[in-house]
């Protein structure tokens, strides 16, 4: 967001990456290789609003008009609550407004505090529209018993 704000509120991926490369102080405490990796994989679509295209036909992104609650990411058709765990990335259902997705994030957070890992993955998998993304393969005991 700082990069877009400094660029006048909107910019292309290339402009944001160039700004970040020219302002390494924004990545205080990281190595240059880690900083470059972060710059290359940045997904403005998760945090910013599309603003159309520039004269070269590149998609431009802008600072969101409203606030997005913690743990909420933009999706193509709305917003979803996201949570990282050591086992997987959890995604709530896609909602039309960020507030509802924020409530989903709070629910995911509550479940994470109150459920064991396997039960959490099962609960999210059973939740309509929600997903357990990359990383979850069950517990070591589950994998051993299935072989």
Instruction: List, for residues 44-54, the tens digit of each pLDDT value.
Output: 877 787 888 88
- As a dihedral over the C-alpha atoms of residue 110, residue 112, residue 114, residue 118, rounded to 10 degrees, the angle is 140
pTM: 0.58
For residue 100, what pLDDT band results from cuts at 50, 70 and 90?
A: very high
In this prediction, residues 4-30 reach a mean pLDDT of: 89
Q: DSSP E strands: which ranges in 8-117?
A: 10-11, 49-53, 59-62, 72-75, 78-84, 89-91
Domains in the chain: boundaries: 2-62, 72-137
User: What's the confidence (pLDDT) of residue 32?
Assistant: 87
Calculate mean pLDDT across residues 10-29: 90
Q: DSSP label at 95?
A: B
Measured CA to CA in angstroms, residue 104 lies from 46, 74, 123 at distances of 17, 14, 13
Calculate ∠ Cα 55-57-62, nearest 5°: 85
* pLDDT tens by residue, 112-147: 999 999 999 999 999 999 999 976 455 555 445 444
For domain 2-62, give its CATH number from 2.170.120, 1.20.120, 1.25.10, 1.10.10.
1.10.10
d(CA 8, CA 53): 15
């Amino acid at each position: 967001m700082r990069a877009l704000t400094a660029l006048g509120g909107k910019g292309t991926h290339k402009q944001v990456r160039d700004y970040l490369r020219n302002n390494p102080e924004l990545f205080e405490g990281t190595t240059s290789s880690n900083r470059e990796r972060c710059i290359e994989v940045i997904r403005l679509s998760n945090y910013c609003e599309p603003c159309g295209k520039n004269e070269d036909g590149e998609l431009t992104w802008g600072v969101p008009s409203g606030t997005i609650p913690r743990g909420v990411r933009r999706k193509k058709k709305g917003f979803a609550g996201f949570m990282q765990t050591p086992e997987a990335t959890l995604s709530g259902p896609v909602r039309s407004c960020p507030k509802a997705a924020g409530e989903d994030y709070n629910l995911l957070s509550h479940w994470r505090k109150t459920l064991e890992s396997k039960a959490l993955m099962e609960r999210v998998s059973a939740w309509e529209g929600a997903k357990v993304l990359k990383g979850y393969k069950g517990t070591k005991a589950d994998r051993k018993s299935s072989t």
